[in-house]
């Protein structure tokens, strides 16, 4: 069937650990470390200096080119501007704000008058100034995605699949703030002007799907498509194939096939920016796994350390093995829990020793399972070999850059090869042109 995508796997969901716990806001941090690299594109430059007093929602960093501004998540005094660890790896300059716990709002944080009568250009400006990025993990500036999709998009898809195991942030957001999400989607639809608007959700989120059906009576023209649960259904290209029956070409983008895809949390952030005047300064974060004592979903201000977020979930167990930013399939292991939450941090997954699937001597047994599950129809075995050999010509010929790093191949590999790590190294080498 054209509505199904190739490959994929069915890992244990483990969403029951956090899905039923009511959404709650965690206490504000005493110090917020606001990283200046929170989106794909050019990093921001500080607009404040040490000693400045800042308000909640005040723009504190911005830049040119592919860039969106960053805002203060708390009020207080700029204590330092220094390098801090980044959840994606390495270090990054950060603005350190000492919280005064007054939560004084910036004068700019106010609802916009008559947003329903705003033009697409005006709405794009609001989304940009709010610093909104793809909050499902991609962190691409949302105003740029919407602007480049104008007059090219006939199908707008709200990605509510949340196919990664353990993570329930989008699910709980859908169940608790359904109207906010749908109104944010309506704003995006007004900007893009599609012929068809679809909310795609997997069938393991029955309560969210039921709530969406109830609310869709107030949003005529929006359809709900419930898809069979399969990872990586929520990947952009696979979702487009499942919903629209179209295949994004190699090296292409969703707009090349008339589609635009936005995440649930992104839509909610658009609603808050347009109807409340609130920039991207907080998000829902799933803190879960067998390595944390009280799995839950928390509303967290950006700049809060992973250590504090984990403490709000009861702290780590004695049996913790690894802490990830993101889920177990695509997440990045953390070696320093002082790393702060960013706009795209949707989950902190704490795994125990029982989930340690690493092999002491990873070996390829030439079983071909990686070929069967790769949703991009690539050849993971050969990509792994050529990456190790530094053969950039072969990596380019085999379309390594089309790899979405979903981890299906590594999950299916009985020899436990570190395939995704190998592909990331190969991609870096291709971008740098270094053998």
Give the burial class of 299: count Cβ atoms within 10 A of its Cβ; 0-12 exposed, 13-18 middle, 19 or more buried: middle
With tokens 């199904």, the residue in question is: 4
Average pLDDT, consecutive stretches of 10 residues, N- to C-terminus, the chain (435 residues) = 77 96 97 96 96 98 95 98 96 97 94 84 96 92 94 96 97 97 96 97 97 94 96 96 94 94 97 96 98 98 98 97 96 96 97 87 92 96 94 96 96 94 94 74
Tens-digit pLDDT profile for residues 56-70:
999 999 999 999 999
In sign, the C-alpha dihedral spanning 41, 47, 50, 54 is negative
Pairing of strands 155-159, 259-263: parallel
CA 22 from centre of chain: 21
The per-residue DSSP string of 36-94 comes to: S--SSSSPPEES--TT-EE-BT-EEEE-SSS---EE-SS-EEEEEEEEEE-TTSSEEEE
DSSP code for 404: -
Q: Which pLDDT score is estimated for 138?
A: 81
| Chain centre to alpha carbon of residue 349 | 14
* pLDDT given for residue 111 in this prediction: 85
- Residue range 133-150, pLDDT digits in tens: 999 888 999 999 999 999
* Residues 32 and 254 sit within 8 Å (Cβ to Cβ): no
Q: Which fold has domain 18-109+279-354?
A: Ubiquitin-like (UB roll) (3.10.20)
Q: Considering only the C-alpha atoms of the chain, give the largest distance between any 2 of them, rounded to a whole number of Å.
A: 63
Place of tokens 């029956």: 245
**CATH code of the domain occupying 110-276:** 3.40.50.11540
Q: In whole angstroms, what is the distance from residue 216 CA to residue 210 CA?
A: 10
**Edge-to-edge strands, sheet with 155-159:** 222-227, 196-202, 155-159, 259-263
Separation CA 113–CA 25 (nearest Å): 28
The secondary structure of 360-393 as a DSSP string is SS-------HHHHH-TT---HHHHHHHHHHT-HH
Give the pLDDT score at 435: 52
Distance between CA atoms of 304 and 286, rounded to whole angstroms?
14
Q: What's the confidence (pLDDT) of residue 260?
A: 97
The answer to whether residues 426 and 391 touch, using CB atoms and an 8 Å cutoff, is: no
CA 293 to CA 295: how far, in whole Å? Answer: 6
Tracing tokens 């409340």 back to the chain, one arrives at 276
The pair of structure tokens assigned to 20 is 């039923």
Q: What is the pLDDT of residue 434?
A: 60
CA atoms within 13 A on the CB side of 205: 34
Give the residue ranges of DSSP H helices in 232-288. 236-244, 264-271
The pLDDT tens digits of the residues spanning 17-27 come to 999 999 999 99
Every domain of the chain and the residues it spans: 18-109+279-354, 110-276, 369-432
Rounded Cα distance between 231 and 209, Å, is 18
Alpha-carbon gap, residue 221 to 274, rounded angstroms: 21
Give the end-to-end CA distance of the chain in Å, rounded to a whole number: 41
């Amino acid at each position: 069937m054209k509505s199904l995508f190739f490959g994929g796997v069915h890992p244990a969901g483990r969403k029951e650990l956090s899905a039923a716990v009511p959404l709650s806001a965690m206490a504000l941090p005493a110090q917020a470390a606001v990283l200046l690299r929170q989106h794909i594109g050019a990093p921001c430059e500080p607009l404040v200096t040490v000693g400045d007093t800042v308000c909640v929602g005040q723009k504190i960093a911005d830049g040119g080119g592919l860039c969106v501004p960053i805002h203060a998540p708390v009020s207080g005094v700029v204590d330092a501007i220094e390098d801090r660890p980044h959840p994606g790896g390495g270090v990054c300059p950060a603005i350190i704000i000492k919280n005064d716990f007054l939560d004084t709002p910036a004068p700019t944080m106010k609802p916009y008058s008559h947003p329903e009568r705003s033009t697409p250009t005006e709405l794009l400006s609001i989304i940009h100034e709010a610093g909104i990025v793809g909050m499902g993990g991609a962190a691409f500036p949302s105003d740029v995605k919407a602007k480049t999709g104008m007059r090219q998009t006939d199908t707008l898809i709200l990605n509510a699949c949340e196919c990664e195991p353990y993570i329930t942030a989008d699910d709980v957001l859908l169940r608790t703030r359904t109207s906010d999400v749908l109104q944010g989607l309506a704003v995006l639809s007004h900007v893009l002007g599609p012929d068809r608007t679809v909310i795609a959700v997997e069938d393991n989120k029955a309560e969210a799907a039921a709530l969406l059906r109830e609310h869709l009576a107030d949003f005529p023209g929006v359809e709900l498509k419930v898809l069979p649960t399969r990872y990586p259904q929520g990947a952009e290209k696979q979702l487009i194939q499942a919903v629209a029956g179209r295949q994004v070409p190699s090296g292409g983008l969703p707009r090349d096939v008339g589609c635009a895809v936005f995440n649930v949390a992104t839509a909610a952030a658009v609603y808050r920016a347009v109807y409340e005047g609130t920039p991207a300064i907080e998000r829902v974060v799933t803190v879960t796994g067998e390595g944390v004592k009280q799995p839950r979903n928390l509303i967290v201000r950006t700049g809060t350390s992973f250590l504090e977020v984990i403490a709000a979930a009861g702290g780590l167990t004695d049996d913790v093995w690894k802490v990830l930013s993101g889920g177990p399939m695509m997440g990045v292991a953390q070696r320093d829990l002082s790393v702060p939450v960013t706009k795209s941090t949707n989950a902190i997954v704490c795994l125990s020793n029982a989930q340690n699937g690493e092999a002491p001597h990873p070996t390829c047994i030439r079983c071909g399972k990686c070929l069967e599950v790769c949703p991009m129809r690539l050849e993971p075995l050969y990509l792994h070999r050529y990456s190790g050999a530094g053969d950039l010509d072969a990596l380019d010929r085999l379309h390594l850059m089309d790899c979405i790093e979903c981890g299906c191949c590594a999950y299916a590999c009985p020899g436990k090869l570190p395939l995704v790590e190998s592909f990331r190294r190969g991609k870096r080498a291709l971008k740098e042109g270094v053998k």
